[in-house]
Amino acid sequence: MAILVGDDTRLVVQGITGRDGSFHTLQMMEYGTAVVAGVTPGKGGQTFEGPDGAGVPIFNSVDEAVAETGANTSVVYVPPAFAASAIEEAVDAEISLVVAITEGIPVQDMARAHAFARDHGARVLGPNCPGVISPGKAKVGIIPGNIVTPGPVGVISRSGTLTYEAVVHLTNAGVGQTTCVGIGGDTLIGTNFVDVLEAFADDGDTEAIVMIGEIGGTDEQEAAQWVQENLDIPVVGFIAGQTAPPGRRMGHAGAIISGSSGTAEEKMKAFEESGIAVAKRPVDIVGLIQSALSA
């Protein structure tokens, strides 16, 4: 099994003709993902040239793409000014999972897009995230396909490249993954640690979880509490930013609302108190996961 994406994924790429969109569509197709449609307004009727002569039809809207191809998942490479609108369009077309790669989307745009997605029961992953990959099944986003391998470990991370760093150590040590999920680093993200932990808990094949956090906010602390109260598979954690300078304060309001400064120390302590083994370096995740799996 796997979570979020897998053998049933039928993907529409929003922004398929852009520099990043086209490059990563090729990579997703080479990995074996079923890319069934692309959307670029004004380029409907054209065909995207995939690897080995495979063509992907391009539509003007997600609505048309869904009607014609039965797409159920979307990935967004649309530039920041229009990306929230692209997410809303996908949600309106009844796409159930929208993976938003775009970095730098205005936060107030995303407040509306997330509210719209919640109302329609759609899941948004990201934005400003690397996407999700279920090794051997489907890759949606930009996580390099050659660093993952199928196996029993679920990976969740707020970061992009740090996820790759952790995953490549697992793969090199022969520890495969069910699914690797990058939830994104923006202020407003559609899917948080707890959402992904719940999915892994229900997955059946995920035997241990790697959770990679960073400084800022309180998502990691809440995830730690959820793990302690609900999860019976082992979790290994890593927090980036132990040497980072103290972050920018959002006036008094930020401190009042979170009740926390979100330091690495605070988060590592929350992990440890919830029975999550904390790795000092990314490479140390491997040893901790191996002993968790063999316990």
- CA-to-CA distance for 151 and 113, rounded, in angstroms? 34
Q: Is 24 a catalytic residue?
A: no
Is residue 198 at the binding interface for another protein, with CB under 8 A as the rule?
no
Q: Which residues pair with 56 in a beta bridge?
A: 48
Helix (H, G, I), strand (E, B) or coil at 211: strand
Is residue 161 at the binding interface for another protein, with CB under 8 A as the rule?
yes
Is residue 62 at the binding interface for another protein, with CB under 8 A as the rule?
no
Q: Considering only CA atoms, which of 5, 15, 57 is closest in space to residue 36? A: 57
- CA-to-CA distance for 154 and 206, rounded, in angstroms? 6
Window 128-147: residues binding another protein (CB under 8 A): 130, 142-144, 147
Q: For the window 22-61, what string marks contact with another protein as x by the rule CB under 8 A?
A: -xx--x----------------------------------
**With contacts defined by CB under 8 A, how many residues of the chain interact with another protein?**
66
Is residue 108 at the binding interface for another protein, with CB under 8 A as the rule?
yes
Q: Which residues pair with 277 in a beta bridge?
A: 236
- Cβ proximity to another protein, 53 vs 252, nearer residue: 252
- CA-to-CA distance for 293 and 195, rounded, in angstroms? 23
- CA-to-CA distance for 86 and 88, rounded, in angstroms? 5
Query: φ and ψ at 244, to 5 degrees?
Result: -70, 145
- Pick from 126, 136, 160, 237 the residue near another protein by CB under 8 A: 160
Q: Considering only CA atoms, which of 218, 223, 222, 270 is closest in space to residue 210? A: 223
Is residue 101 at the binding interface for another protein, with CB under 8 A as the rule?
yes
Catalytic residue among 24, 114, 169, 252: 252
For residue 168, how many other CB atoms are within 10 A of its CB? 16
Q: For the window 238-277, what string marks contact with another protein as x by the rule CB under 8 A?
A: x-xxxxxx--xxxxxxxxxxxx------------------
Q: List interacting residues with another protein (CB under 8 A).
A: 20, 23-24, 27, 80-81, 101, 103-109, 111-112, 114-116, 130, 142-144, 147, 157-165, 168, 185, 187-188, 212, 214-215, 217-219, 238, 240-245, 248-259, 280-283
